[in-house]
């Protein structure tokens, strides 16, 4: 009889302990501890301008989106160069993009920007421009045709006409 009473007592104690342990887990299921992940990425290139990264992302989505974004950036009241902080530049770029994209698309664009997905592409084009001598050109906008950098609209028109003569 004593052995049976001891077994019952042990079963009751075990049940109470299990109940106490499990009640802590189930008492507040909505209070889960959040886990954070911190990553550091090191690249061999400089940071690329956010406007170029967003433009490259939009170009990947659609050329129409790219040119609409281009027009939107050019029609801003103040140029991006005159903005003082990166946050202001980001907000201006996202403001233009928000007029072109649906909310879900805008969230994807923000995610792509946060991950710098187009940064290697932007850097590649910068490297190509550097190797082609684009940084040596003294005008704000130019066209490169057959390794010639042309800043003047009339000169560009003449060159294009000369190429049209050979076009069949």
CA distance 23 to 20: 5
Rounding to the nearest 10 degrees, give the CA dihedral for residues 56, 82, 98, 107.
60
How many alpha carbons fall within 13 Å on the CB side of residue 31?
Answer: 5
Contact 56, 118 (CB under 8 A): yes
List per-block mean pLDDT (blocks of 10 residues) for the chain, which spans 168 residues. 57 64 55 76 80 96 95 92 92 96 96 93 90 82 81 86 68
User: How high is the pLDDT of residue 167?
Assistant: 55
Contact 146, 156 (CB under 8 A): no
């Amino acid at each position: 009889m004593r052995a049976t009473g001891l077994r019952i007592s042990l079963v009751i104690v075990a049940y109470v302990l299990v109940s106490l342990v499990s009640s802590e887990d189930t008492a507040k299921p909505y209070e889960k501890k959040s886990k954070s992940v911190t990553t550091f990425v090191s690249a061999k290139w400089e940071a690329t301008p956010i406007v170029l990264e967003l433009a490259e992302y939009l170009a990947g989505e659609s050329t129409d989106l790219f040119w609409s974004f281009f027009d939107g950036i050019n029609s801003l009241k103040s140029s991006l160069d005159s903005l003082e902080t990166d946050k202001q530049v980001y907000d201006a770029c996202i403001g233009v993009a928000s007029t072109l994209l649906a909310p879900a698309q805008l969230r994807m664009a923000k995610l792509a920007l946060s991950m710098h997905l187009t940064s290697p592409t932007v850097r590649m084009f910068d490297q190509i421009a550097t190797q082609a001598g684009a940084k040596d050109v003294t005008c704000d906008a130019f066209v490169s045709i057959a390794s010639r950098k042309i800043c003047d609209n009339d000169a560009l028109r003449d060159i294009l006409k000369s190429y049209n003569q050979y076009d069949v």
